[in-house]
Chains A and B, each alone.
Chain A
Amino acid sequence: MPIDDNKKTPGTAKKINYIREKMPVQDPSKRKNNFEEVALGYNEETAKKEASRCIQCKTAPCKNGCPVEIDIPAFIKLVAEGKYDESIKKIKEKNNLPAICGRVCPQETQCESLCTLGKKGEPIAIGRLERFAADYEAANVPSNETKISPSTPAPKVAVIGSGPAGLTCAADLKRMGYNVKIFESLHASGGVLRYGIPEFRLPKSILDREVKYINTLGVEIEYNMIIGRVATIKELMQEYKAVFIGSGAGLPYFLNIPGENLNGVYSANEFLTRVNLMKAYKFPQFDTPAAMGKRVGVVGGGNVAMDSARVALRLGAEEVYIIYRRSEEELPARKEEVEHAHEEGIKFKLLTNPIKIIGDSEGNIKEIECQQMELGEPDASGRKRPVVIKDSEFTIPMDTVIIAIGQGPNPLIPQTTSELSIGKHGNIVTNEKTGETSIPGVFAGGDVATGAATVIKAMGAGKIAAKSIDKYLH
Chain B
Amino acid sequence: MYKILRKEILSANIKLMEIFAPKVAQKAAPGQFIILRIDEQGERIPLTIADFNAEKGTITMIFQEVGKTTSQLGTMKVGDSIRDFLGPLGIPMHIKNYGRVVCVGGGVGVAPLYPQARALKQAGNEIISIIGARSKSILFWEDEIHKVSDKSYITTDDGSYGHHGFVSDILKRLLEEKERIDRIIAIGPIPMMRVLCELTKPYNVPTFVSLNSIMVDGTGMCGCCRVTIGDEVKFTCVDGPDFDGHKVNFKELNARMKRFVPEEKEAMELFRKRSSCICQ
Contact = CB atoms under 8 A, between A and B. Distances in A.
Interface extent on B, as a size class?
35 or more
B220 interface: yes
Contacts of B224: 266-267, 270
B195 interface: no
A450 interface: no
Given A230-B88, A278-B44, A363 B256 contact: yes
Interface string A284-318: 11111101000000000000000000000000000
B256 A250 contact: no
Interface in A253-267: 254, 256, 260-264, 266-267
Which of A231, A263, A285: most chain B CB closer than 10 A? A263
Given A251-B220, A273-B221, A278-B43, A263 B27 contact: no
A379 interface: no
A192 to B, nearest CB: 10
Contact of A289 (B41, B258, B267): B267
A143 to B, nearest CB: 24
B47 interface: no
Interface stretch (B78-86, B130-138, B180-188, B196-204): B78-86
Given A284-B263, A284-B270, A291-B263, 15 more contacts: A229-B87, A230-B23, A230-B26, A231-B27, A251-B220, A254-B226, A261-B252, A270-B223, A278-B216, A288-B44, A289-B260, A289-B264, A289-B267, A363-B255, A411-B238
Contacts of A231: 23, 27
B216 A288 contact: yes
B230 interface: no
Contacts of B222: 252, 267, 269-270, 273-274
Interface of A: 185-187, 195, 223-226, 229-231, 250-252, 254, 256, 260-264, 266-267, 269-270, 273-274, 277-279, 283-289, 291, 362-363, 410-412, 415
A223 B224 CA distance: 22
Contacts of B216: 270, 273-274, 277-278, 288
Given A363-B252, A411-B238, A229 B263 contact: no
Interface of chain B, helix or strand or loop or mixed? mixed
A231 B252 CA distance: 34
B221 A229 contact: no
A224 B86 CA distance: 5
Given A254-B223, A273-B221, A274-B216, A263 B259 contact: yes
B223 A187 contact: no
B223 A230 contact: no
A284 B266 contact: yes
Given A278-B216, A287-B267, A252 B252 contact: no
Given A226-B89, A291-B263, A363-B252, A285 B41 contact: yes
A467 to B, nearest CB: 29
A471 to B, nearest CB: 31
Nearest to A260: B233
Interface of A, secondary structure class, is: loop
Q: Which of B83, B84, B220, B266 has the most CB of A within 10 A?
A: B220
Contacts of A410: 219-221
A185 B26 CA distance: 17
23 contacts: A185-B86, A185-B219, A187-B83, A187-B86, A230-B23, A230-B24, A230-B26, A230-B87, A231-B27, A250-B219, A251-B221, A252-B222, A252-B223, A263-B256, A266-B224, A270-B223, A270-B224, A277-B216, A278-B43, A285-B41, A291-B263, A363-B256, A411-B238
Contacts of A251: 220-221
Contacts of B88: 229-230
Nearest to B264: A289
A454 to B, nearest CB: 18
Contacts of A363: 252, 255-256, 258
A220 to B, nearest CB: 15
Contacts of A250: 217, 219-221
Given A223-B84, A287-B69, A291-B263, A411 B43 contact: no
A283 B223 contact: no
Interface in B233-250: 233, 238
A252 B216 CA distance: 13
B42 interface: yes
Contact of B89 (A229, A273, A285): A229
Contacts of A256: 233
A286 to B, nearest CB: 5
A187 B84 contact: yes
A286 B252 contact: no
Contacts of B69: 287
A229 B33 CA distance: 11
B258 A263 contact: yes
Contacts of A286: 41-43
Interface in B29-61: 37, 41-44
B260 A291 contact: yes
Q: Among the interface residues A229, A279, A286, A363, which one has the most CB atoms of the partner chain B within 10 A? A: A229
B256 A261 contact: yes
Q: Which of B217, B227, B259, B260 has the most CB of A within 10 A?
A: B217
Nearest to B86: A224
Nearest to B69: A287
Contacts of B194: none
B42 A287 contact: yes
- Which 3 A-B pairs rank lowest in CB-CB distance, beginning with the nearest? A363-B255, A289-B263, A250-B221
A277 B87 CA distance: 19
Q: Among B83, B85, B219, B255, which residue has the most Cβ atoms of chain A within 10 A?
A: B219
